[in-house]
Structure 1
């Protein structure tokens, strides 16, 4: 059984240890990094350190063992704040078995029952603690702390591992320096001129989700020189949607969000005499503002994914209808249309499809199991944290998961080897183009 979302955040504890470090190591854990903890038959007990990290100077150099020159070793005593354990950890590299290095002697319980794509965060201590030169924490990908980490570091969809500066976590910024300086200047100027309300009116409304989604696609097109989201012309259409929604759009959204929330906070606290009274007496306003911001982020993510998927369906010339009400249910997309899903419709099983879209699955995928209309059910997602148990349950419910191409083969996700998980490319080319060509609009060139 995989762990549920943690109710208690350990982020304050993590920040304390980050502040005592001069370098950080962050890795998205793969199945090989954690599977041993749940399988007593496996003798391996540790995670792997990529060669690039091993050679980056974060860990001490490896030395060969005289009696076995192909085995390299290094002592790395560690402290694990979540359990309070000190461990005589070490690195072991077998030069005849590949480039990766095995990091061993670690707390088993921290790695047991983790969701896919969880995180390992560690630091090199400025001052050793009881002989330990390194500390590590394990962050379940479904926890509050994972969300904080991913937001603070602005982690891209393609991230696997890296060496970080502690300031990247302690002083995470959502805008570049120039943009931040410009915003500060605008706010100070408005305060001086008494036009703060006017500034609030100009930045107080975030653009509609559809507008931000369109802006994100435009930024993606400009960066990649792709002209449109035609899935039949793209090598990896799923990866494109994932990059647009996770990276491009989130950056754009955070820029709008900072401008709005910064001015909103100043407007709410401006009448207090000093900073102390502003924070204490104005706390209810601050609490309301940040709660609103958190809720808005969650709502935005789901809708944006649907907008980008709809754009891909349009660019691929598929017949579809959005949010059609069917028997009390409202699937995200029905192909070709609502009429084909009605009882008694004159069509075959392969002439219609239910396509749902969920940025993150958790237990919400079960909502679509009621959407049965004599057609296949596909569920599109960019979530890399879906457990093997959930995948087995979806297969039993005859639901096919559609994921980005890189996630289908990712070592961190649990999708590889599951027959009910396909890539976006397979969905469009095989499930639609080959098996259900009637769901494609007739092209002009086919008529000539």
Structure 2
């Protein structure tokens, strides 16, 4: 699905389904659509999904000599284009567990960004012609992907799952019921303004980051976010920022936005229809503000998490210092050392942090920096071409350990892509041990490099 105005259409199909399948597409699931030399057509169906009853059962062929081939044929519709396909699932039992759903629209899988999503549903009531299955691809670089991730609460380690659409389209009972009681009580008592005042300010990124870190450390039985004590520090940061913190933020956002919408709709005692029509600009502004705030929160919080790793790992750094006409997120060990004319290449490095890259990674290039340039991210959508472009500019990506080896990303075997584990063990400990030296030794070495 490549057009943002199709989100409403997608919600309609979700609401009309009894079950929903979402799968993060691997490169093998869609690269065939961009390579005319490949004859594959379709995507892999995980073996764990087949017994769940979402797809029709696989039945063996009755032709002599083909009893090892199991097939399930059914008609699918692809709402983004309106195409109807006679799809099938085919399993060669003599070749292992691998199964593909084939006969799909090639254009739906062409040109997709890494880690794009496939969403499909089993309709509650079959369409004319007995069509019961629909599928849509959602490019991971689109706003639709963000909405899907939010709606279905897709975690950082998500690969595939089946969902009940009724649960996805509703607020959790415990949170929703409590908030409804609170708003109803405020309306009856005439204290909505006071309630709005209490929830009018959302938690700052610093507070959210600290609370999320505390929840993670408590759950893991840790006292510090030390990258040398955590086996996979990148995965930890991804879990904290994309899962734990987002849950905390959504709770605060629900209270804030719900009370604000009630205020708009009950202002001046208007009828509901009049309040919706007259108040639409205010409603639109409130929801636009919500979208913008989510994005800015995620980026700043990610920097807080990186900073916590550096501090707890006893690594010397300075934040947000202006150098070379730029303001990198982190300079290790300091601006003074970075700007020293006598230092060696490995005496300093620049580390930037961006949750999502797109073209913004080009902002980190520093003229005549004469040090390592590193870019930390939890973005799983970076293309192979972009990674090669970064390599040509001597920029190293630092990504979570699970993303480095995932088949849904383009990071594996890229020489300029490091995991967080490799960054701390190799780039800091092995190549730049002075960054972790004791404070007295560190100052002595830095002073030598300054004169």
TM over 0.5: yes
**TM-score (norm: length of structure 1):** 0.94
Find the partner of 1:284 among 281, 284, 288: 281
1:90 aligns with 2:116: no
- What is the rounded CA distance, in whole Å, between the counterparts of 2:10 and 2:29 in structure 1? 21
| Residues 283 and 399 of structure 1: CA distance in aligned 2, closer, same or farther (over 3 Å) | same
Q: Confirm or deny: 8 A CA contact 2:357 2:382 kept in the other structure.
A: yes
Q: CA deviation at 1:142?
A: 0.8
Tell me the equivalent position of 2:370: 374
Equivalent residue of 1:73, what SS?
strand
C-alpha deviations, 1:240-279, integer Å up to 9, x for none?
0000000000110111111111112222332232111110
8 A contact 1:331–1:371 mirrored in 2:
no
State the 1:127 CA deviation: 2.9
Cα 1:182/1:20, change in 2 over 3 Å: closer
Q: Counterparts of 1:238 and 1:172 in 2: how far apart (Å)?
A: 32
Give the equivalent residue in structure 2 for 1:242. 238
Counterpart check, 1:409 vs 2:408: no
CA shift, 1:17, in A, is 1.7
* 1:4-403 matched pairs, under 5 angstroms: 6=2, 8-66=4-62, 67-129=65-127, 130-169=129-168, 171-173=169-171, 176-270=172-266, 271-344=268-341, 346-370=342-366, 372-403=368-399
What's the C-alpha RMSD, in Å, of the aligned pairs?
1.8
- 1:77 counterpart SS class: strand
Distance 1:441 1:256, change over 3 A: farther
Unaligned runs of 5+ in 2: 443-451
What does the per-residue CA deviation read over 1:28-71, in whole Å, with 9 as the maximum and x for residues that have no partner?
00011001111111121110000011111111111222422322
1:165-216 per-position Cα deviation (integer Å, ceiling 9, x unaligned): 12134x242xx32222221111111222222222112111112110111001
* Secondary structure of the corresponding residue to residue 125 of structure 2: strand
Contact 2:57 2:72 in 1 (8 A): yes
Secondary structure of 1:156's aligned partner: coil
SS in 2 for 1:88: strand
> How far apart, CA to CA, are the structure 1 residues paired with 2:29 and 2:177?
42
Q: State the 1:126 CA deviation.
A: 2.7
Q: 2:445 — aligned with what?
A: none
- In the aligned structure 2, how far is the partner of 1:339 from the partner of 1:178? 53
Residue pair 2:324, 2:366 contacting (<8 A) in 1 also: no
Residues 54, 101 of structure 1: 8 Å contact kept: no
CA distance in 2, matches of 1:117, 1:125: 26
1:33 is paired with a residue of what secondary structure? Answer: helix
Distance 1:244 1:234 in 2: 13
Give the CA deviation at 1:371. Answer: 5.1
Q: Deviations over 1:122-145 (max 9, x none)?
A: 111233332323111110011121
- Change in Cα spacing, 1:372 to 1:227, as seen in structure 2 (3 Å) is farther
- Whole-angstrom CA distance in 1 between matches of 2:56 and 2:281: 49
Structure 2 distance, partners of 1:100, 1:166, is 28
Please say if residues 72 and 95 of structure 1, whose CA atoms lie closer than 8 Å, have aligned partners that are also in contact. yes
> Structure 2-normalised TM-score?
0.94
